Amino acid sequence: MLPCKSSQPGYPTFLLRSLNLPKELTCEISDKQPGPKAKHSHESVKSNQPSERRKTELLEGTDKMNFKPVITKVENLAIQSIPNDKRNRRRSGRGRKKIFENYLSSSDVSTGLKRGELIQGPLRINPKNYHEAFLPSPDGSRDIFIDGIISRNRALNGDVVVVKLLPKEKWKVIIPEGCDSETNAVAQSDVLGEVNNVNFEDLPTHNKVKVLETSPDVIIEEQYDDSLDENDNGTSAKIVLDGSVGEINFSPSEKAAGFSGIQPVDKSGTRMQTSRQAKPSNMVVNDSRIHPDRFLQKTGKVVYIVEKKHSRAVTGFIKPLSDKNSELYNEFFMFSPVDHRVPRILIPSEDCPKDIMARPADYGSVLFICRIVDWRDDSNFADGHLTKSLGQAGEIEPETEGILIEYDVDFSDFPEEVLECLPKSLPWTIPKKELQKRKDLRNECIFTIDPATARDLDDAVSCCKLPDGNFEVGVHVADVSYFVHEGTALDMIASKRATSVYLVQKVIPMLPRLLCEELCSLNPMQDKLTFSVIWKLTPEGKILSQWHGRTIIRSCVKLSYNHAQSIIEDPEKIFSPDELPSVSPDHSIREIKTAVINLDNIAKHLRRQRFDGGALRLDQSKIAFTLDSESGMPQGCYIYEYKDSNKLIEEFMLLANMAVAHRIHRSFPEQALLRRHPPPQTKMLDNLTAFFEQLGIELDFSTAGTLHKSLDKTTGDDQYSFARKEVLTHMCSRPMQMALYYCTGVHYDEALFHHYALNVPLYTHFTSPIRRYADIIVHRLLAATLDSVQQIGLDKSDVQKQADHCNAKKSASKKVQELSADLFFSVFVKECGPLESEAMVMGVLDQSFDVLVVRYGIQKRIYCNGLPLQGFTFRKVGKNPELRLMWEPETLDQKPICQVIAIFELVEIVLKSDNAALKYSAILKKPTETPGKDIGTMRNAAETK
Q: What are the start-end ranges of the H helices in 455-586?
A: 489-497, 513, 561-569
DSSP percent split of the chain into helix, strand, coil, nearest 5: 30, 25, 45
**Rounded CA gap, 840 and 912, in Å?**
18
The reply to whether omega before 427 is within 30° of 0 (cis) is yes
Cβ–Cβ < 8 Å for 186, 158? no
8 A C-beta contact, residue 376 and residue 94: no
Q: What is the dihedral of CA 28, 32, 38, 40, to 10 degrees?
A: 80
How many Å apart are CA 132 and CA 54, to the nearest integer?
10
Residue of 664, 808, 658 whose CA lies nearest to 744: 664
For residue 209, give every residue at least 6 positions away whose Cβ sits within 8 Å of its Cβ, in sequence order, or none. Answer: 177, 200, 201, 203, 694, 876, 879, 880, 881
Q: What are phi and psi of 446, to 5 degrees?
A: -120, 140
**Can you say how many angstroms the Cα of residue 612 is from the centroid of all Cα atoms in its chain?**
30
Q: In what order do the strands lie in the sheet with 144-147?
A: 124-125, 132-135, 144-147
The phi, psi pair for 499, rounded to 5°, reads -160, 150
H-run or E-run covering 554: strand 543-554
d(CA 869, CA 851): 19
Single out the residue of 313, 321, 317 nearest to residue 392, CA to CA. 317
Strand-pairing partners, residue 135, are 144
**DSSP codes, 181-224:** S----B----STTS--PEEEE--SSS--EEEE----EEETTEEE
- Residue 206 burial class via C-beta count within 10 angstroms: exposed 0-12, middle 13-18, buried 19 and up: middle
Outline where 458-524 has alpha helix (H). 489-497, 513
Contact call for residues 559 and 447 (beta carbons, < 8 A): yes
Distances (CA, A) of 556 to 439, 535, 601, 769: 17, 20, 21, 21
E strand or H helix at 837, and its extent? strand 835-844
Residue 97 carries which side chain, given as an amino acid letter?
Answer: K
Point out which residues pair with 546 in neighbouring strands.
535
The rounded distance, in Å, linking the Cα atoms of 149 and 539 is: 61
Residue 223 to residue 582: CA distance in whole angstroms: 38
**Residue 138, preceding bond cis, omega within 30 degrees?**
no
- CA atoms within 13 Å, Cβ hemisphere of 43: 24
- Beta strand pairing status for 906-913 and 920-924? antiparallel
Using an 8 Å Cβ cutoff, are 193 and 756 in contact?
no
Residue 450 assigned ligand-binding role: yes
Q: Quick check: bond before 834 cis, omega within 30? A: yes
Instruction: Find out whether 449 and 558 touch, Cβ atoms under 8 Å.
Output: no
Strand intervals (E) in 592-648: 623-627, 634-639
A 10 A CB-CB count for 176 gives 17
Evaluate whether 357 touches 320 at the Cβ level (below 8 Å): yes
**DSSP state, residue 329:** T
Which residues are CB-neighbours of 128 under 8 A, at least 6 positions away? 34, 46, 48, 49, 51, 190, 228, 229, 230, 231, 232
Q: List binding-site positions.
A: 450, 459
Q: List binding-site positions for Mg(2+).
A: 450, 459
